[in-house]
Structure 1
Amino acid sequence: MLNTREYHINDLEVVAKQILETATSKTILFYGDMGAGKTTLIKALVKLLGCKDDVSSPTFSIVNEYSINEGLVYHFDFYRLKDEEEAYNFGIEDYLDSKEWIFIEWPDQVKNILSNEPCNRLKIESLDTETRKITFNKN
């Protein structure tokens, strides 16, 4: 069971596998400071789900879509989102209703939209250049 764990970056794939095995929702919210490793962890998750594409942060595009073995992954980065209305304008509700994997960085930017969504919350903290601490809450 994964709840709180420290890990070395060399163990990233093992941690990603544990997250996928224990997730109770296909929507995971990623919390953490800039540079904590949210996108790096999402890259590992998407790869484990079978994606062959290069995974990158959708900071400027807001959402990236990746084909995986069984469906799609939608990777959101809401850091530059002006307000929740902007999320409604590009159809966030359709993504949330899709039954696909959804990984959201900076979810506080749309917290009212997500308040009733079943999701898991993952907080990542940088302890040093090669060690992270994650807290994974299952709803």
Structure 2
Amino acid sequence: MNEERLQATERLQHELAALTATVEHPNGLCMVTASPKGEIKALHLHPALLNQGAQAVGQVVTETVQLATNAAVQVSFNKMALALGDGMAIDVESIAGDSPFRSTWNPVVPPKPPAEQASPERRQRAPRVEDTDDDAFFENPSWLR
């Protein structure tokens, strides 16, 4: 039993050491493969991003690296939970903090399409749907007491 656990732990360590995640920025102009430590394994930039200037390139690359690192950390949490069990994963989260996808922080806000940027007065509202139920539950007098 102990030997199986040691082998499972060694396998997990090897898997975590080689783990990466690939994420594309919401604007589609950058793709990054990163490790849970934040090491950049691959970086692909769309030529259109380079035309936006150095500051835009830096911001998009930084955001994408953060997203890829968070994804890799999340995958490592998932692998650890599968290998060691949920109880151990909860203990690790209590020490290391919540897994990235459990937290609500997201550094990237996708750009709004032009239709959504219009003023509120110009937006078309969805038509209201009337409630056709008419509280059928209360229409049956035998149910009222």
Q: TM-score, normalised by structure 2?
A: 0.25
Q: TM-score, normalised by structure 1?
A: 0.25
More helix by share: 2
More strand by share: 1
Asked which structure has the greater RCO (Cα within 8 Å, sep 6+), the reply is 1
